[in-house]
Amino acid sequence: MEVSKKIKETVIEGEKKDYGDLIDKAKDEGLSATDIVDIMAEAMDIVGDKFDKGDFYLPQVITSANAFNGILEIIEPDLREDISGSGKGKVVIGVVEGDVHKIGKNLVSTLLDAAGFSVVDLGDDVKSDEFINTAKEEEADIIGLSTMMTTTMSEVEEVVDRVEEESLNEQTKTIIGGGPCSQEYANEIGADGYAKNAQKAVKEVSEILEV
Protein backbone atom coordinates (compact mmCIF):
# COMPACT_ATOMS: atom_id res chain seq x y z
CA MET A 1 0.00 0.00 0.00
CA GLU A 2 1.10 3.52 -0.71
CA VAL A 3 2.64 4.97 2.41
CA SER A 4 0.42 8.04 2.57
CA LYS A 5 -2.60 5.77 2.46
CA LYS A 6 -1.10 3.69 5.22
CA ILE A 7 -0.65 6.76 7.43
CA LYS A 8 -4.20 7.82 6.81
CA GLU A 9 -5.46 4.36 7.64
CA THR A 10 -3.37 4.17 10.80
CA VAL A 11 -5.00 7.34 12.11
CA ILE A 12 -8.52 6.46 11.01
CA GLU A 13 -8.29 2.97 12.49
CA GLY A 14 -6.49 4.28 15.56
CA GLU A 15 -3.84 1.59 15.21
CA LYS A 16 -1.53 1.28 18.14
CA LYS A 17 2.01 0.30 17.26
CA ASP A 18 5.54 1.56 16.86
CA TYR A 19 5.05 4.32 14.31
CA GLY A 20 8.80 4.73 13.72
CA ASP A 21 8.96 2.31 10.78
CA LEU A 22 6.01 3.86 9.06
CA ILE A 23 7.47 7.33 9.36
CA ASP A 24 10.90 6.18 8.15
CA LYS A 25 9.24 4.71 5.08
CA ALA A 26 7.32 7.93 4.52
CA LYS A 27 10.53 9.94 4.65
CA ASP A 28 12.21 7.50 2.27
CA GLU A 29 9.44 8.16 -0.17
CA GLY A 30 10.06 11.85 0.09
CA LEU A 31 7.19 12.94 2.33
CA SER A 32 7.99 15.89 4.56
CA ALA A 33 6.77 16.28 8.13
CA THR A 34 4.23 18.86 6.99
CA ASP A 35 2.97 16.45 4.32
CA ILE A 36 2.43 13.89 7.06
CA VAL A 37 0.53 16.36 9.22
CA ASP A 38 -1.67 17.22 6.25
CA ILE A 39 -2.42 13.56 5.66
CA MET A 40 -3.22 13.03 9.32
CA ALA A 41 -5.42 16.11 9.46
CA GLU A 42 -7.35 14.78 6.50
CA ALA A 43 -7.71 11.46 8.31
CA MET A 44 -8.93 13.21 11.45
CA ASP A 45 -11.50 15.05 9.35
CA ILE A 46 -12.82 11.71 8.18
CA VAL A 47 -12.87 10.46 11.77
CA GLY A 48 -14.87 13.53 12.82
CA ASP A 49 -17.28 12.97 9.94
CA LYS A 50 -17.76 9.35 10.83
CA PHE A 51 -18.34 10.35 14.46
CA ASP A 52 -20.95 12.90 13.40
CA LYS A 53 -22.71 10.35 11.22
CA GLY A 54 -22.69 7.74 13.95
CA ASP A 55 -20.38 5.34 12.10
CA PHE A 56 -17.70 5.87 14.73
CA TYR A 57 -18.12 5.91 18.48
CA LEU A 58 -16.14 7.82 21.06
CA PRO A 59 -13.57 5.07 21.82
CA GLN A 60 -12.64 5.10 18.14
CA VAL A 61 -12.22 8.88 18.20
CA ILE A 62 -9.94 8.54 21.19
CA THR A 63 -7.76 5.85 19.61
CA SER A 64 -7.52 7.93 16.44
CA ALA A 65 -6.47 10.93 18.47
CA ASN A 66 -3.88 8.75 20.22
CA ALA A 67 -2.47 7.52 16.92
CA PHE A 68 -2.40 11.10 15.70
CA ASN A 69 -0.53 12.25 18.78
CA GLY A 70 1.82 9.24 18.66
CA ILE A 71 2.91 10.03 15.11
CA LEU A 72 3.08 13.72 15.82
CA GLU A 73 5.52 13.13 18.64
CA ILE A 74 7.90 11.35 16.29
CA ILE A 75 7.82 13.94 13.53
CA GLU A 76 7.79 16.99 15.75
CA PRO A 77 11.52 17.78 15.51
CA ASP A 78 11.34 17.67 11.70
CA LEU A 79 8.22 19.72 11.76
CA ARG A 80 9.95 22.53 13.54
CA GLU A 81 12.59 22.59 10.83
CA ASP A 82 10.04 22.30 8.06
CA ILE A 83 7.85 25.09 9.23
CA SER A 84 10.41 27.80 9.20
CA GLY A 85 9.38 30.88 11.04
CA SER A 86 8.19 29.15 14.11
CA GLY A 87 7.60 32.06 16.34
CA LYS A 88 4.64 32.61 14.04
CA GLY A 89 2.88 33.79 17.16
CA LYS A 90 1.95 32.72 20.64
CA VAL A 91 -1.40 31.10 21.43
CA VAL A 92 -2.76 30.58 24.93
CA ILE A 93 -5.49 27.96 24.69
CA GLY A 94 -7.82 26.12 27.07
CA VAL A 95 -11.30 24.81 27.79
CA VAL A 96 -13.34 27.30 29.81
CA GLU A 97 -14.28 26.90 33.45
CA GLY A 98 -16.89 24.27 34.17
CA ASP A 99 -16.17 22.25 31.04
CA VAL A 100 -13.90 19.21 30.93
CA HIS A 101 -14.42 18.29 27.25
CA LYS A 102 -10.83 18.56 26.12
CA ILE A 103 -10.40 16.15 23.21
CA GLY A 104 -11.29 18.78 20.60
CA LYS A 105 -9.14 21.43 22.24
CA ASN A 106 -6.22 18.98 22.36
CA LEU A 107 -6.46 18.51 18.61
CA VAL A 108 -6.53 22.24 17.98
CA SER A 109 -3.58 22.70 20.30
CA THR A 110 -1.58 19.94 18.61
CA LEU A 111 -2.19 21.22 15.10
CA LEU A 112 -1.35 24.81 16.04
CA ASP A 113 1.83 23.56 17.60
CA ALA A 114 2.61 21.50 14.53
CA ALA A 115 1.96 24.49 12.31
CA GLY A 116 4.68 26.41 14.09
CA PHE A 117 2.78 28.47 16.61
CA SER A 118 4.03 28.48 20.12
CA VAL A 119 1.21 27.08 22.22
CA VAL A 120 0.60 27.46 25.94
CA ASP A 121 -2.05 24.86 26.73
CA LEU A 122 -3.87 25.56 30.01
CA GLY A 123 -5.87 22.32 29.90
CA ASP A 124 -9.55 22.09 30.74
CA ASP A 125 -11.79 23.76 33.32
CA VAL A 126 -9.74 26.96 33.16
CA LYS A 127 -10.82 30.05 35.10
CA SER A 128 -11.09 33.36 33.25
CA ASP A 129 -8.41 34.80 35.55
CA GLU A 130 -5.98 32.17 34.40
CA PHE A 131 -6.59 32.93 30.74
CA ILE A 132 -6.09 36.64 31.31
CA ASN A 133 -3.07 36.37 33.59
CA THR A 134 -1.30 33.89 31.35
CA ALA A 135 -2.02 35.97 28.28
CA LYS A 136 -0.45 38.97 30.01
CA GLU A 137 2.58 37.07 31.26
CA GLU A 138 3.20 35.36 27.96
CA GLU A 139 2.31 38.40 25.88
CA ALA A 140 0.06 36.13 23.88
CA ASP A 141 -1.06 37.04 20.38
CA ILE A 142 -4.14 34.88 20.59
CA ILE A 143 -6.35 33.39 23.29
CA GLY A 144 -8.12 30.24 22.09
CA LEU A 145 -11.30 29.37 24.00
CA SER A 146 -13.00 26.01 23.73
CA THR A 147 -16.33 24.84 25.09
CA MET A 148 -18.57 21.92 24.21
CA MET A 149 -21.55 22.83 26.35
CA THR A 150 -24.23 25.48 26.03
CA THR A 151 -24.14 25.84 29.80
CA THR A 152 -20.55 27.11 29.77
CA MET A 153 -20.79 29.43 26.78
CA SER A 154 -21.14 32.40 29.13
CA GLU A 155 -17.60 31.66 30.32
CA VAL A 156 -16.35 32.17 26.79
CA GLU A 157 -18.07 35.53 26.67
CA GLU A 158 -16.60 36.46 30.03
CA VAL A 159 -13.03 35.93 28.88
CA VAL A 160 -13.66 37.82 25.63
CA ASP A 161 -15.14 40.70 27.61
CA ARG A 162 -12.21 40.78 29.98
CA VAL A 163 -9.72 40.95 27.15
CA GLU A 164 -11.40 44.16 26.12
CA GLU A 165 -11.93 45.53 29.63
CA GLU A 166 -8.29 45.10 30.47
CA SER A 167 -7.29 46.69 27.17
CA LEU A 168 -5.49 43.58 26.09
CA ASN A 169 -7.29 43.59 22.79
CA GLU A 170 -4.64 45.56 20.90
CA GLN A 171 -2.05 42.91 21.67
CA THR A 172 -4.22 39.82 22.09
CA LYS A 173 -6.95 38.54 19.78
CA THR A 174 -9.51 35.89 20.66
CA ILE A 175 -10.68 32.82 18.75
CA ILE A 176 -13.42 30.49 19.89
CA GLY A 177 -14.55 26.98 19.04
CA GLY A 178 -16.39 23.85 20.18
CA GLY A 179 -19.86 22.39 19.59
CA PRO A 180 -22.25 25.20 20.53
CA CYS A 181 -20.06 28.04 19.18
CA SER A 182 -20.56 29.52 15.74
CA GLN A 183 -19.44 32.47 13.65
CA GLU A 184 -22.66 34.27 14.64
CA TYR A 185 -21.91 33.72 18.30
CA ALA A 186 -18.35 34.97 17.82
CA ASN A 187 -19.70 38.13 16.19
CA GLU A 188 -22.27 38.59 18.92
CA ILE A 189 -19.77 38.47 21.76
CA GLY A 190 -17.02 40.28 19.88
CA ALA A 191 -14.51 37.46 19.48
CA ASP A 192 -12.02 37.96 16.66
CA GLY A 193 -12.41 34.53 15.15
CA TYR A 194 -14.18 31.19 15.11
CA ALA A 195 -13.33 27.82 13.57
CA LYS A 196 -15.36 24.69 13.18
CA ASN A 197 -12.47 22.23 13.42
CA ALA A 198 -8.78 22.02 14.14
CA GLN A 199 -7.60 22.45 10.55
CA LYS A 200 -9.76 25.52 10.11
CA ALA A 201 -8.52 26.79 13.48
CA VAL A 202 -4.98 26.84 12.13
CA LYS A 203 -6.14 28.73 9.05
CA GLU A 204 -8.14 31.20 11.07
CA VAL A 205 -5.32 31.89 13.51
CA SER A 206 -2.93 32.38 10.60
CA GLU A 207 -5.33 34.81 9.00
CA ILE A 208 -5.90 36.81 12.15
CA LEU A 209 -2.18 37.13 12.73
CA GLU A 210 -1.50 37.57 9.03
CA VAL A 211 1.25 34.94 9.01
Partner 1 sequence: MKNEMTHLKRSKVALKGDKPDKVPVFSRDLTFPLDVVDYTTPEVCKGGAGGTFDAEKSAEAVIKSQEEIGHDVVLGSVWDLGLASDVYGGETKFPEYGIPRVDEAAFSDNLERVEDVDPINFREDGRYPGVLESYEIVSEEIGDEVGIAVNIQGPVTEACLMRGTEKLLMDMMERPDLAKELIDLATTNIKNFIEECFEAGANLTTFLAASNDGTEVLTPQFMREFSLPKIKEIVEFSHDLGYPVVFHPHGVFTEPEHHELVDKSISTGIDGFQFAEDNDYEFAAEKWGEDVCILGGVSIKDAILPGPVSKIENEVKKRLKDCAKDGGYIAMAACSLHRDTPVENVRAMTEATHKYGEYPINL
- ∠16-77-112 over CA atoms, to 5°? 80
Q: Which does residue 157 bind out of partner 1, ligand B12, none, counting CB within 5 to 8 angstroms by kind?
A: none
Choosing from 108, 156, 159, 163, the residue that interacts with ligand B12 (CB under 6 A) is: 108
Task: Sort strands 193-194 and 173-177 into parallel, antiparallel or unpaired.
Answer: parallel
As measured in angstroms, the least distance from the Cβ of 156 to partner 1 is 15
Contact predicate 44/107, CB 8 Å: yes
Work out whether 57 is an interface residue with partner 1 (CB under 8 A): yes
Options 62, 129, 165, 203; binder of partner 1; rule CB under 8 A: 62
Give whole-number Cα distances, 22 to 7, 36, 69, 127, 169, in Å: 7, 11, 14, 41, 44
Does 50 contact ligand B12 by CB under 6 A? Answer: no
Which member of 133, 150, 182, 187 binds ligand B12 (CB under 6 A)?
150
Nearer to ligand B12, 59 or 85 (CB): 59
First and final C-alpha spacing in the chain: 36
Q: Does 59 bind partner 1 (CB under 8 A)?
A: yes
| Binding residues with ligand B12: total (CB under 6 A) | 30
| Contact call for residue 177 and ligand B12 (CB under 6 A) | yes
Q: What is the DSSP string of 44-81?
A: HHHHHHHHHHTSS-HHHHHHHHHHHHHHHHHHHHHHHH
Q: What residues line the site for partner 1 (CB under 8 A)?
A: 54, 57-60, 62-63, 66, 97-98, 100, 103, 125, 150-151
